[in-house]
Chain A
Amino acid sequence: AQTVTQSQPEMSVQEAETVTLSCTYDTSENNYYLFWYKQPPSRQMILVIRQEAYKQQNATENRFSVNFQKAAKSFSLKISDSQLGDTAMYFCAFRKGGSEKLVFGKGTKLTVNP
């Protein structure tokens, strides 16, 4: 079974600064996808970024980028130029190829301070 671990329950960052959220996972699969989802207080889960395991290049979406270390089974999220609207719970998730099932970590509560 796959597991996803987020070791930082809470983090805070000053507006305009950079913050990195950590995620490690455990799997024996070769074909899989990794995701970061954001859940603001409005509670809708919003996809931030995704990474295909077969791609060596790290995914980037505007201010969000990942550091995907396949051998170490590590998938961290970097948020640059943090904005107040980035305040939310962030969940790392794993999905094996051929399945729709997402396995989530426990989440990291990120607060961006003015």
Chain B
Amino acid sequence: KAGVTQTPRYLIKTRGQQVTLSCSPISGHRSVSWYQQTPGQGLQFLFEYFSETQRNKGNFPGRFSGRQFSNSRSEMNVSTLELGDSALYLCASSSGTGTRGTQPQHFGDGTRLSIL
């Protein structure tokens, strides 16, 4: 079974631009979560989607948004990029079935975003 796939692997943008990152979960998984990883702040939760609905959101500005498609693939978008948005963005999927939060999450390799 293929793992969680994130594209692109690396991305370089300049301040003020916007960016879209993609995540394809493990086949059959319906829950997708996004995390931002930086040396200073560590790993921080961005948001979680299940069946095309955002179920939970972290403490990030409105410039960070996401969506999920009917095939469970998810995208996150960051608008008006700032230098501080430079980070590794990780996506994780879980089946989302049964009692919520009981299934383990599986992570992708992440997208390394650099802002110049």
User: A residues touching B (Cβ–Cβ < 8 Å)?
Assistant: 33, 35, 37, 42-47, 50, 91, 95-107
A14 to B109, CA, bound (A): 28
B67 close to A (CB within 8 Å) = no
Residue of B nearest to A93 (CB): B43
Contacting B102 at CB < 8 Å: which of A33, A44, A106? A33
Report the stretch among B17-25, B68-76, B77-85, B90-98 that lies at the interface: B90-98
Main secondary structure of the interface of A (DSSP, over half): loop
Known: A44-B110, A45-B107. A101 touches B33 (CB 8 A): yes
A37 to B33, CA, bound (A): 16
- 29 contacting pairs across A/B (C-beta < 8 A): A33-B102, A42-B109, A43-B88, A43-B110, A44-B107, A44-B108, A44-B110, A45-B107, A47-B104, A47-B106, A50-B104, A91-B43, A95-B101, A96-B101, A97-B101, A99-B56, A100-B31, A100-B33, A100-B105, A101-B33, A101-B48, A101-B56, A101-B58, A102-B105, A103-B45, A104-B42, A104-B43, A105-B42, A107-B42
A97-B99 in contact (CB<8A): yes
A106 to B43, CA, bound (A): 7
B48-A100 in contact (CB<8A): yes
Whole-angstrom distance from the CB of A33 to the nearest CB of chain B? 7
B1 close to A (CB within 8 Å) = no
A98-B99 in contact (CB<8A): yes
A106 to B48, CA, bound (A): 21
Determine the chain A residues whose CB is within 8 A of the CB of B35 once the complex forms: 102, 104
Determine the chain A residues whose CB is within 8 A of the CB of B55 once the complex forms: 100
Determine the chain A residues whose CB is within 8 A of the CB of B33 once the complex forms: 100-102
Whole-angstrom distance from the CB of A66 to the nearest CB of chain B? 15
